[in-house]
Chains A and B, each alone.
Chain A
Amino acid sequence: MSMRKVAVVGAGMTKFMRRALETGKELAWEAGKMALDSCNLTVNDIDSVVIGTAPDAFDMVHMKSEYLTDGCGAWRKPAMRGFVGGGTGVFSVCQGWYHIASGLFDTCLIIGEEKMSSCVPHPQGAFVTCWDQFTESPLGASLLWFFAWEMNRYMTVHGITEREIALVSVKNKRNALDHPCAQLASEITVDDVLNSEVMAWPVKRLDVSPTSDGAAALVLASENVARRITDKPVWIEGVGWCLDTMYVGQRDLYYPKYVEVAARMAYDMAGITEPSKEIHIAEPYDPFDYKELHHIEGLLLCDKGEAPKLLADGYFNRDGNLPASPSGGLLGVGNAIAASGVMKAAELFWQLRGEAGKRQVPGKPKKGVAQAWGDEMQVGTVVVLGI
């Protein structure tokens, strides 16, 4: 059976902010309305809704997607919430894809929403209850431990330095200067990163993306409908998602195998055999600077351990061979978990249509990959978009 083609036809997002005046519902509505307006549709044209939102512990509402439905345009519609931790944003694009590719629907509104600031004193508190309740949480495990371990292991195995990694933060925060929604855009130096306060060695303050409030939305349509809506549809050519075991001690943290498995699933679907040549632009998940490099390797865009060298050579700059996080990524635009994943797909949508304004990468890119990560160093979610 041949696959039913699915296109992205509209996108929208709110500013990403440390603390938004809007409720989660209002943020969702703002992004959704903007996405619908961008392709001249109304909510009445929408058959189905996918809600992407990370732990309920942020917004502090049990069954958060139920609470959000009306803000997401899902009133009296089929609404589904897929959830794979930090990977949720990009996964919701995969989920919207299967709504339409299944033949059940012709249109789908995808909303990624996060209101992290509702969790006080600090949104990081929401992660306290993530880990194994018997073997991990009682030790006072914090989110940063896992990142620090992984970064340490990545550096140790490949002989990578903190200085090499810091360049990701510099690049992404600089890219974000051109993003109208960015929360932490700035011109910083590698030394600024290295001299920033140590949070959990080797992780320092400026290695880390901020916590954010925000929402982002996409409108998906089946081929026939998409061609009526726009003459510039961006096709979802491949989707992939994967979870590894939760037992971190049972595997090696130096390489994100789960991202590779998800990427291979998406590339197979898209008919991509040499990703490093066929992908023109990437939005890898960058909640921490080393994570972008880690994920570029997992996405098979370069060899293991090679990403830092390519980064230093300018390969991942906006005008480089393979622009990575031209949006400014989570480090620059902000990390409103699920909203950020949708933002990454939205960035590809704008870039591939040549509508990214000051952020536009040169050379008329034709194929892009967006990826998110999540859970206990465990989830890879990948979409390949193309024109």
Chain B
Amino acid sequence: MSEKIKEWPGVALKDADIKEKKVLFTEWRPNLKYAWDTGVGYGRYFEGLRNGRIVGTRCNKCHRVLLPARAFCEWCFRTVDEWVYLKDTGTVNTFSIAYTGTQAERLKEPRIPALIEIDGSNGVGIMHLLGEVDPKNVKNGMRVKAVWKPKEQRQGAITDIKYWKPFEEGTR
């Protein structure tokens, strides 16, 4: 029957219809505020970040490191067995060079979000940003190290790490 239909419903508007107010519209800004409890797992993870270290947990059934730290293993569906403390170095698993922001606006300086496999986690990655590097030089498999905010500026948040920068083994 699809071939028999001549007129399909729907009226497309142009930008001008809105700008010149050819159509009526209402505006609304929701007033929504939230304060989320971090809970046990993330709470300890962020406490760790405030102290300049990366905290994960381990499940002794599947022998995985869980990162960010969590109170239970989603794979085995049981509570985790221990806290593990990881280095602030890792390897880029995959990355992007983002020229647009969250509202699809054009950014002046691109940002480089990357999935970083943390050393000692057996390949588990966290999401973060790369810095002090020319976007042209970023490669998958690149070694990176966390650049922390000064201690007094840390708040127990993911942003306590400013970004991750390339490093060579044996250097600081």
Q: Kindly name the residue among A17, A141, A249, A253 whose own CB sees the greatest number of chain B CB atoms within 10 A.
A: A249
Q: List CB contacts (< 8 Å) of A238-253 with chain B.
A: 245, 247-250, 253
Residues in B neighbouring A245, C-beta threshold 8 A: 74-75
Are A249 and B115 within 8 A (Cβ)? yes
Residues in B neighbouring A360, C-beta threshold 8 A: 3
Per-position 1/0 for A281-311, Cβ under 8 A of B: 0000000000000000000000000000000
In the complex, A203 has a CB within 8 A of chain B: yes
In the complex, A148 has a CB within 8 A of chain B: yes
Are B94 and A253 within 8 A (Cβ)? yes
Given A149-B115, A198-B99: A17 touches B12 (CB 8 Å cut-off): yes
Select B103's contact among A121, A145, A356, beta carbons within 8 Å.
A121
A247 and B100 CA atoms in complex are apart in Å by 24
Given A128-B102, A138-B158, A139-B129: A198 touches B124 (CB 8 Å cut-off): no
Select B2's contact among A150, A156, A350, beta carbons within 8 Å.
A350
In the complex, A140 has a CB within 8 A of chain B: yes
Given A128-B102, A250-B66: A135 touches B9 (CB 8 Å cut-off): no
Residues in A neighbouring B113, C-beta threshold 8 A: 139, 141, 145, 148-149
Number of B interface residues in the complex (CB < 8 A):
57
In the complex, A18 has a CB within 8 A of chain B: yes
In the complex, A355 has a CB within 8 A of chain B: yes
Are B8 and A181 within 8 A (Cβ)? yes
Residues in A neighbouring B96, C-beta threshold 8 A: 144-145, 148-149, 152, 200-203
Are B115 and A248 within 8 A (Cβ)? yes
Residues in A neighbouring B159, C-beta threshold 8 A: 138-139
Are A249 and B94 within 8 A (Cβ)? no
Are B97 and A200 within 8 A (Cβ)? yes
Per-position 1/0 for A20-35, Cβ under 8 A of B: 1110000100110010
Residues in A neighbouring B67, C-beta threshold 8 A: 247, 249-250
Select A140's contact among B75, B101, B140, beta carbons within 8 Å.
B101
In the complex, B83 has a CB within 8 A of chain A: no
Given A60-B28, A181-B10: A249 touches B98 (CB 8 Å cut-off): no
Q: List CB contacts (< 8 Å) of A207-243 with chain B.
A: 213-214
Per-position 1/0 for B21-63, Cβ under 8 A of A: 0010000101000101010001001100000000000000000
Are A14 and B13 within 8 A (Cβ)? no
Given A14-B10, A355-B2: A134 touches B158 (CB 8 Å cut-off): yes
In the complex, A188 has a CB within 8 A of chain B: no
A175 and B36 CA atoms in complex are apart in Å by 46
Known A-B contacts: A142-B100, A200-B97, A250-B64. Give 6 more (CB < 8 A): A124-B103, A133-B34, A139-B113, A144-B100, A145-B127, A350-B1
